[in-house]
Structure 1
């Protein structure tokens, strides 16, 4: 039993998916679930569906709903954050297309490159405001961030509120649950794997068969090119396997956002197909609200929120495949203040990372190092409201190929997104 606050609960994808997972948990029976969203109509829709589902199934949960998070936060044990700012897709398409109009090559524009910086500069200030309320009203709770750009947001939180207990969660690693059993023809339960890097910029590092004790990483690498050949969104993906001898845990849409030569090899048609389908689903064309609540999150998107909460409450001591936390030496080739995606250990003390230093190859770790300056500078630009630092972050980003157009691009984006970026002075 716990008090769980869902901030961004009005989203049919996030709010109802998270609630569906919670309602499947025996550990959480009797818990209080506080729904929070600034969109009153969306919040009321989720609340209505939730109350009907609870009544239909005779469940024992206390549900509250409010547009004022300060009323929901006191006494919270766990706070989940999954928000977006403004018209998500209108702004995203600006982030993606404006740099291209200025001759700056980027492949996607959500988390990395100039588009990822603009996205970060919009969403970090409101998330920091949420974290300020958490620190004031429920400082001992565990905060779970599911918003993107994950690493940029988490970097800013760790700098502004270093005492908060915060982890970031992303479902991308679940791709390994799909692919590895097919590559090896063994159940995933028989495998022990390690992945790591930054969120959306992470790779498979090791694998062994638990039943036989055999190291199967080389077998995976031998069979993977044929398995993935011809599949959508895997142009850059295949080049990473070829030159860096590791398998990305995500596809070109995300992985390509961080690499300066990705424009040449990324599967652009596949990325566009992914975006189009993702936009359609998230806008609700494929979402039956009651069914979404009943189903919860599917294996391919499972956020692992509930297993982590259960692990803390029940002191399970289990491992999670991927959590986003401050480095603390888990990858020693990266600075201590970086937010890294590594396996995690969960017990009554919370979530701790698992060291993957010995299996992190030099070449890939240096691809990660190319991101360090961007992450630090972007976070500080948002914290300080500094246009100068925002401009410097754009100039530091390795995917930016133009110094002469960058300032014009920044001023154009600020003009068109003044409501969200006008704070940059």
Structure 2
């Protein structure tokens, strides 16, 4: 990353989901510590009071001496108001409620289908997609009308289908999806260098990688640190830690009580099977394979040393963050500035021509991943320069992995068509074709119908 010698002072960012108590705060912090940019962030959320809280919080940063980037935050009541005049658009929304998510994640458990996340693939990913796609259709239409030249950064899952929907509705849109799962794998590769070479203090961005695949089912085929082939070292690392798993030295056994942690055993097993580095967290990776691999039952999940993420945990976490928000807005606590580790602000900076950046993003396949259908949303590295985003040619996955990736790509296409056409039978075919759905067809159909019934309010135009 080359740091800028100039400054841009009049940027307008539209934040859809601007009442967020997580992603929005990360953006605020990253904007505050970046000295090359300033401007206005318009916060739109269906929960207007939450957006107002973030307006108050964001504006408290303006006069702080430790804040380098000076931004004005403004809560707005309509999507049109947020989008009008926007240079950049950030989308980070929760499509539905936690009750909807509970149906996505926990109803399948009654049929023996376990999901560690339930937001990208599997029964939960499909129902979440059916709720989300219509929302993204409307967002895309309004971007086309009110801010057609803006760059659009998507953080919402299911990542591939959200991004694909934007392009289906508005083919000329300048949109890409961002996910931090690859970053964690780069940090793991830094641990490889520490464990096997005694090298400390290596930043994850110092490890140069070739990324290819689809979101949350992403792979690394090359990894280098200076003159060291980290990919070659990874085999030795996997062999050393395969049975026990590997966590950072200060976090031994942390996965047991943490819904988001793992011991990387799924990653290690996939490397032994396929000879390529899996580049997402174990919780996400496990969901892309037949359920009897890693998600057969609770004992199997425990064996592979990762965890399910129950919706009750998400509810408690939101309650905690809402309480934190009150304390921040009322001035009882001070907003802590620190870089989030996300790259949205760096991407904006590069698109403004203030820096060059190469990082992984989700965009349409124009040939950067061989063997995957053109037009599918794939995840590879891309080069960011002034008003330009160009994918890096990533090559081809091993055939055994490619066949699994392509299956999910075609299933995503089926889900998108089912949503656009409001076709329940087509949605059912995608449901039955998901690798996690290994139960008898009659049981799977019954489960599907129950899950659809629980999402009726989002499917009002469907013939159910």
TM-score (norm 1): 0.90
Corresponding residue of 2:308: 272
Consecutive unaligned residues of structure 2, counting only runs of 5 or more, are 1-7, 247-254, 256-261
Counterpart of 2:212 in structure 1 is 196
Residues 37-116 of structure 1 mapped to structure 2, 5 A cutoff? 37-57=45-65, 60-87=70-97, 89-104=98-113, 106-116=115-125
Query: Does the C-alpha gap of structure 1 residues 236 and 391 become closer, same or farther in structure 2, counting only changes over 3 Å?
Result: same
d(CA) in 1 for partners of 2:19 and 2:123?
29
In the alignment, the residues of structure 2 paired with residue 292 and residue 262 of structure 1 have an alpha-carbon distance, to the nearest angstrom, of 42
1:305 maps to 344
Q: Secondary structure at the match of 1:217?
A: helix
**Residues 1:128 and 2:158 are matched in the alignment:** no
User: Does structure 2 conserve the Cα–Cα contact (< 8 Å) formed by 1:13 and 1:292?
Assistant: no
C-alpha distance in 1 between matches for 2:83 and 2:379: 27
Structure 2 residue corresponding to 1:377, chosen from 378, 394, 414: 414
Matched, 1:9 2:18: yes
- The equivalent residue for 2:336 is 294
Deviation, 1:104, is: 4.4
Change (3 A) 1:236 1:421: farther
Q: What secondary structure sits across from 1:314 in the alignment?
A: coil
CA contact (8 A) 2:116 2:309 kept: no
SS at match of 1:26: coil
Shift, 1:75, TM fit: 1.3
1:226-265 matches, within 5 Å, as: 226-227=240-241, 229-231=244-246, 232=255, 233=262, 234-260=264-290, 261-264=293-296
Q: 1:331 to 1:292 in 2, by over 3 A?
A: farther
Q: Which residue number corresponds to residue 35 of structure 1? A: 43
Aligned pairs, how many? Answer: 416
Residues 131-171 of structure 1, C-alpha deviations (whole Å, 9 max, x = no match): 11001111111111100111122222222222211100011
Q: 1:201 to 1:390 in 2, by over 3 A?
A: same
Q: How far, CA to CA, are the matches of 1:273 and 1:127 in structure 2?
A: 25
Decide which moves more: 337-346 or 287-296: 287-296
CA distance in 2, matches of 1:250, 1:44: 34
Distance in 1 between residues matched to 2:206 and 2:48, nearest whole Å: 46
Bigger mean CA deviation after superposition, 225-234 or 163-172: 225-234
The CA distance in 1 between the partners of 2:323 and 2:367, in whole Å, is 42
The correspondence for 1:346, drawn from 373, 379, 384, is 384
Alignment of 1:149 with 2:158, yes or no, is yes
Contact 1:323 1:342 survives alignment (8 Å): yes
Which runs of structure 2 are paired with 1:149-228 in the superposition (5 Å)? 149-185=158-194, 186=199, 187-188=202-203, 190-210=206-226, 212=227, 214-227=228-241
Contact kept in structure 1, 2:116 and 2:308, CA below 8 Å: no
Q: In the alignment, is the contact (CA less than 8 A) between 2:365 and 2:376 conserved in 1? A: yes
Preserved contact between residue 96 and residue 131 of structure 2 (Cα < 8 Å): no
Question: Residue 187 of structure 2 aligns to a residue in which SS?
Answer: helix
Deviation, structure 1 residue 378:
0.7
How far off is 1:235 after superposition? 4.2
Q: Is the 8 A contact 1:235 1:266 kept in 2?
A: no
Q: CA distance change for structure 1 residues 275 and 225 in 2, over 3 Å: closer, same or farther?
A: farther
Question: What is the Cα deviation at residue 236 of structure 1?
Answer: 2.9
Go from structure 1 to structure 2 and tell me whether the alpha carbon gap of 1:209 and 1:48 turns closer, same or farther (over 3 Å shift): closer
Q: Is the 8 A contact 2:422 2:461 kept in 1?
A: yes
- Superposed CA RMSD in Å reads 2.4
TM value normalised by structure 2 = 0.83
Aligned to 2:373: 335
Residue 107 to residue 55, structure 1, CA distance change in 2 (3 Å):
closer
CA contact (8 A) 2:358 2:383 kept: yes
- CA deviation string 1:299-333 (max 9, x = no partner): 3xx2x10001000112533211x100001011111
1:77 Cα deviation from its structure 2 partner: 0.8
Q: 1:274 to 1:244 in 2, by over 3 A?
A: farther
> Whole-Å Cα distance in 2 between the matches of residues 197 and 19 of structure 1?
30
Post-superposition shift, 1:249? 2.1
- Structure 1 residues 244 and 277: CA distance shift in structure 2, 3 A: farther
The answer (yes or no) to whether the contact 1:319–1:345 under 8 Å persists in 2 is: yes
